[in-house]
Chains A and B, each alone.
Chain A
Amino acid sequence: MSTGPTLNETALRAGSFKMTPLRMGVMLVAVGVYWTSIKGTEMSIQEFVTGFPAIIDLLSQMFPPDWSYLKRLGWPVIETLQIGIISTVVASILALPMAFLAAKNVSPHPVIYLPIRLFLTVCRGVSEIIWALLFVVAVGLGPFAGVIALIIYCVGVIGKLLAEAVEAVDPGPLEAMTAAGASRWKVFLYGAWPQVLPLYLSYCLYYWDHNTRQAVVLGFVGAGGVGYALFFNISTYYFEKAMMAMIVLVLLIVAIDRFCLFLRQKII
């Protein structure tokens, strides 16, 4: 049995784009939106030309990076790593009951399902930085506020993605377990969960990477780590130090990326 489209099908699909009036209309609208966007954001070749020398100048100030700054970056890097880890772990755990409650096919009741979905949307809708700013009010400056912010956002995202995955699960095994007299949550754990487990792990790894990068951004609002070092050095024009911090940051993320790749192969 073939495992993909035949050559004929592929060629046909690529070569048979029909121009219907609807498609024409959509394209015109797209062009219009694009045009206003370019105007609105002051994008122009002019801006680019005038700005370019400034960028080059900036780059020259950033190189060579200040290698002596490297040892001072030790602690911040660890802090950033820690923020990434704890926020991902806690968010992964909290997202689990969400997946159960927010999935139409396994949730106990619409009265539970709808508010939880709404809650997840709010968690996701507000950017992590804003959550961080909010929680700085509660717990003060420092990494904790950032961790809370990342957890909230992450639960919102993973919760929603997971719930959607649970809703897309093969209902057959669920029916079989219900018929055998298992309660709802057991049906979920044994019928639905095994089907979404690989996806769940994939999301967790992906968001570990994401959270570590966001930890850097949150450093801007006082959450410490490499991000704060970066922010501080850019605002005080110590560009060589900033560049050093940036290099360290890139290395950290690449390391995590590689590690995640390794883990993925082991798990899936």
Chain B
Amino acid sequence: MNNQADQHAMVEVAHLTKAYGNAAPAIEDISLSFKKGEFIVLLGPSGVGKSTLLRCLNFLVRPTSGVVRVNGEELGALSKKGLLEARHHIGMIFQEFNLVNRMSVLMNVMCGRLGTLSTWRALTYNFSPEDHELAVRALVRAGLEDTELYLRRADTLSGGQKQRVAIARMLIQEPKVILADEPIASLDVVMRIQIMDLIRDIADRDGLTVVMSLHQLDVARTYADRIIALAGGSVTFDGPPAELTDAVVERVFMKSIDEVDEEQTVETAEASTE
């Protein structure tokens, strides 16, 4: 049931603008508000500013102007240390998984707890037994139950497995918000569904807010509570999937609906042959 706590926005951006150098802004004057537990999909072809917007939400990219507020804290007003702490509660997963290849799976997951690791332990690569236990739990929750994998080097895993490790790394942070940058673009069709189901499941159980950038229409329609479409750095659509008509899609992707359909089909076909 909705109550006062749920009504307060988890993630808020106001008049957010980011321009790189003297080029035209990647995103311009964006104002949005996401509630706790919402599953948001940022939709659009590549280059419209989804990545930039996403990265502004944890200040991996500093906006040129505007305010970003996560869980009540304004990120721009935080000290360096404050920002690090704020990031502890924001988990992020990436298209290319971004694992450290030479490290073991388990260690990769424990890196999610680097923020809370004491200096001495960090210098000697000495995670505590509790960290190890939390990592194992996170891996199990992320769907990797084959314990033989845990000590293997991360680069020996398949794409789907790697993304699960990345998700485990995010889970160990016990985040309140999940940011996902094209998390399924490098996965095959079967894995895509599994990973999306996993993320949805975690978000529902823990009441997490998810902000995910995608360009796969069908996936967006299936999983999102709310779709925000970007075009040329501004919001052109903001509403539930049901309202995402063909006309809107054409405007977002700047192509006819048939062309969009064809592209999406080709992309899915390519993914299933990997």
Contact = CB atoms under 8 A, between A and B. Distances in A.
A binds B: yes
Nearest to B173: A180
Interface residues of A, number: 21
Contacts of A189: 122-123, 125
B112 A175 contact: no
A182 B90 contact: no
Nearest to B89: A181
Contacts of A233: none
Interface in A174-190: 175-183, 186-187, 189-190
B120 to A, nearest CB: 12
A267 to B, nearest CB: 12
Contact of A176 (B90, B98, B115, B123): B98
Nearest to B108: A173
Contact of B102 (A176, A179, A182, A194): A194
Contacts of A194: 100-103
Given A190-B100, A197-B102, A180 B169 contact: yes
Contact of B87 (A170, A173, A179): A179
Among B97, B100, B125, B179, find the residue whose CB has the most chain A CB atoms closer than 10 A. Answer: B100
A152 B217 CA distance: 59
Contacts of B173: 180-181
Contacts of A176: 92, 94, 98-99, 111, 166, 169
A181 B114 CA distance: 8
Interface string B105-137: 000000110110100001101000000000000
A191 interface: yes
A183 B96 CA distance: 22
A195 B94 contact: no
B101 A195 contact: yes
A178 B114 CA distance: 10
A14 B226 CA distance: 58
B98 A190 contact: no
Interface of A: 170, 172-173, 175-183, 186-187, 189-191, 194-195, 197-198
The 7 closest A-B CB pairs, nearest first, are: A181-B87, A172-B98, A182-B114, A176-B98, A181-B115, A179-B92, A181-B88
Interface of B: 58, 60, 83-88, 90-92, 94, 96-103, 111-112, 114-115, 117, 122-123, 125, 166, 169-170, 173, 179
24 contacts: A173-B98, A175-B98, A176-B99, A178-B60, A179-B60, A179-B90, A180-B92, A180-B111, A180-B115, A180-B169, A180-B173, A181-B84, A181-B86, A181-B87, A181-B114, A181-B115, A182-B115, A183-B115, A186-B117, A189-B123, A189-B125, A190-B103, A194-B100, A195-B101
